[in-house]
Structure 1
Amino acid sequence: MPPEGAAGAGAPFAQERAVTPILNISCYKFVPLPDAQALRGALHAQALAADLKGTILLAEEGINFFLAGSAQAVRGFVDALRTDARFADLQPKESWSAQVPFRKMLVKVKHEIIRMDRPAIVPSAGRAPAVDAPTLHRWLAQGHDDSGRPVVTLDTRNDFEVDAGTFDGAIDWRITKFTEFPDALRAHKAALADKTVVSFCTGGIRCEKAALLMREEGLEHVYQLEGGILKYFEETDGAHYHGGCFVFDGRRVLQSDLSTQPEIAPEM
């Protein structure tokens, strides 16, 4: 349950979904998948049969996917995934649009589902502590965490994503790809030592690896934002965040109520 005093949900109301009938989901999980190659064909066939479009990334470290289609088809696909014990606790983030923002259905096997080039960082072996969206909302409102320590937010996304919107006062190291994050951290970590650092990204995947790396580098008071910006938009009123959230599909930028412009161009 959200902590006492949490902000109200900012997600679209049910009546809006009548005019925005396409359900978009994003979800990931770090879990060992030694059979990633074998999963590729099965998941591609299931997604095509459900008339879904989007991208599924598989790697030995886990799964990351972005899908769009009718609500019944999308949720049915996720339910089928959950019959595999490794995916039983998947909790996709949802938003709605008038059109499908993808042109194709792609399933790819990669070396990492989010590339950092740091093999020692294995999220499936143990996560860094996480803070949920309502708690971060409260911390930002009061200016400190529950121990009285100053709170800073650290944007782990690429520079062009940050330019679409970010938390007020967020640290932005202007990285152009996630593999630059480790070097940027080492160059700046001294400034973070006496603060509570909350790493964040679009949906949680990058900030999860980032938080683990920060702890490995000796920073003690580090959290990842559970579910990223999209979950923050879903579970709060969006306060303390300015602009929108860049997404890698035809919608491009989502506002804090998870809405987009009425006309969208499908992703190439």
Structure 2
Amino acid sequence: MEKYNTLLYYCYSTIDNAEQFAADHLKFCKDLGLTGRIIVAEEGVNGTVSGTTEACKIYMDTVHADERFANIDFKIDEVKEPSFVKMHVRYKSEIVHSGLRDPNMINPQKQTGKHLAPKEFLEFKDRDDVVILDVRSNYEHSLGKFKNAVTLDIENFRDFPAKINELAKYKDKKVLTYCTGGIKCEKASALLLHEGFKDVYQLHGGIIKYGKEAGGQDFEGKCYVFDNRLSVDVNQVNPVIISTCFNCGKTTPKMINCANPECNEHFTQCDECGTAMDGCCSDACKAHPRKRVYDGTGYYVKVPQPVNTQKGKKLQSITD
């Protein structure tokens, strides 16, 4: 039986002619038979790719051979099947969108919080002078988060800078930031330092690495991931479920996208309500003429969608 891996990684490293690099890298990935989603910018690369164990090894070895990416820390998961349907490599202005383009304000190649290995984070996190800060979006920390973590009411990471004033009360604390794989913490910790926070740290390798190297202790719930798995288990020590069904309130670890493509909202829904609602968040969405077929997963391949004026925002696919 064929074995598969899913690789999660990022690297802040200057890429000249990044747009051409993205095009070349797409061909390289397709030649290996990989699927996934990679973002390339002048500031670096951010990706999740999936494929056979052999193809993933060739990919990692080839990427590591490039001196710009020699220090990439690949988080490797064994999976039963590829975690994506297609392969995308896209050129963008940032590898994680913060809206902060001034390299004098935040430049992870020059300054970030102190990196804590998972076991160091475990030792640090319960101290009286420590605050654990989740820098992820609402739908992510509603599914799972560290016990006693401070969470922010943000829909996307680009909303993080606007929350700095809310965090000012923690300036005399050691601030431990964390996210899924570490990439958001690079910019979040850099911004906190720029704004006068003195003692800033970040969980190296994020939640995923913490689960692998520290057993995931005190991470409550599941970890949202940006592929068709939707979530993964982290805690092997004292696991609990903290998320509840949007429709009935029953405890459930299942995160989906609304089957109505013009809603596409991220939300948690139990299997019973998923069946009853056809994977929709509301009766209005269930009756929508463009409703997608719900297959029980709640994962849909991304297609461009119009602005939903009722919600007042441009809604994104679960693959964003």
Shared fold per TM-score greater than 0.5: yes
TM-score by length of 2: 0.71
Confirm or deny that 1:243 pairs with 2:225: no
Confirm or deny that 1:124 pairs with 2:109: yes
Counterpart in 1 of 2:26? Answer: 44
Query: Among 81, 89, 100, which residue is 1:107 paired with?
Result: 89
Confirm or deny that 1:133 pairs with 2:111: no
Counterpart in 2 of 1:196? Answer: 174
3-state SS of 2:82 partner: coil
Give 1 or 2 for the bigger CA radius of gyration: 2
3-state SS of 2:177 partner: strand
Counterpart in 1 of 2:80? Answer: 98
Percent identity over the alignment is: 30
Aligned pair in 2 of structure 1 residues 75, 265: CA closer, same or farther (>3 Å)? farther
Distance between the aligned counterparts of 2:299 and 2:80, measured in 1? 11
Letter aligned with residue 226 of structure 1: H
Distance between the aligned counterparts of 1:44 and 1:89, measured in 2? 21
Identify which range, 115-124 or 163-172, moves more after superposition.
115-124
TM-score by length of 1: 0.85
CA shift for structure 1 position 267: 5.4
1:48-72 per-residue CA deviation (whole Å, 9 max, x = no partner) reads 1111000111001100010001111
CA shift for structure 1 position 127: 3.0
3-state SS of 1:124 partner: coil
| 8 A Cα contact 1:159 1:174, kept in partner | yes
3-state SS of 1:123 partner: coil
| 8 A Cα contact 1:133 1:225, kept in partner | yes
Counterpart in 1 of 2:158? Answer: 179
| 8 A Cα contact 1:101 1:266, kept in partner | no
Aligned pair in 2 of structure 1 residues 264, 77: CA closer, same or farther (>3 Å)? farther
Q: What is the root-mean-square deviation of aligned Cα atoms in Å?
A: 2.0
Runs (5+) with no aligned partner, structure 1? 1-17
3-state SS of 1:125 partner: coil
Counterpart in 1 of 2:134? Answer: 155
Counterpart in 2 of 1:234? Answer: 212
Counterpart in 2 of 1:72? Answer: 54
Query: Among 47, 59, 64, which residue is 2:41 paired with?
Result: 59
- Which 4+ runs in 1 deviate beyond 3 A? 263-267
CA shift for structure 1 position 265: 7.4
Distance between the aligned counterparts of 2:42 and 2:207, measured in 1? 26
Letter aligned with residue 179 of structure 1: R
Letter aligned with residue 129 of structure 1: K
1:178-207 per-residue CA deviation (whole Å, 9 max, x = no partner) reads 111111112x22221221111111000001
CA shift for structure 1 position 151: 1.4
Letter aligned with residue 215 of structure 1: L
Distance between the aligned counterparts of 2:200 and 2:131, measured in 1? 10
Distance between the aligned counterparts of 1:222 and 1:207, measured in 2? 10
| 8 A Cα contact 2:73 2:205, kept in partner | no
1:225-260 per-residue CA deviation (whole Å, 9 max, x = no partner) reads 1111011111111111100100011101100169x9
3-state SS of 1:39 partner: helix
Distance between the aligned counterparts of 1:193 and 1:176, measured in 2? 24
Q: Give the structure, 1 or 2, with the largest relative contact order (CA under 8 Å, sep 6 or more).
A: 1
Confirm or deny that 1:170 pairs with 2:149: yes
Letter aligned with residue 139 of structure 2: F
Runs (5+) with no aligned partner, structure 2? 237-252, 255-295, 302-320
Distance between the aligned counterparts of 1:266 and 1:76, measured in 2? 28
Pairs aligned (count): 241
Letter aligned with residue 101 of structure 1: S
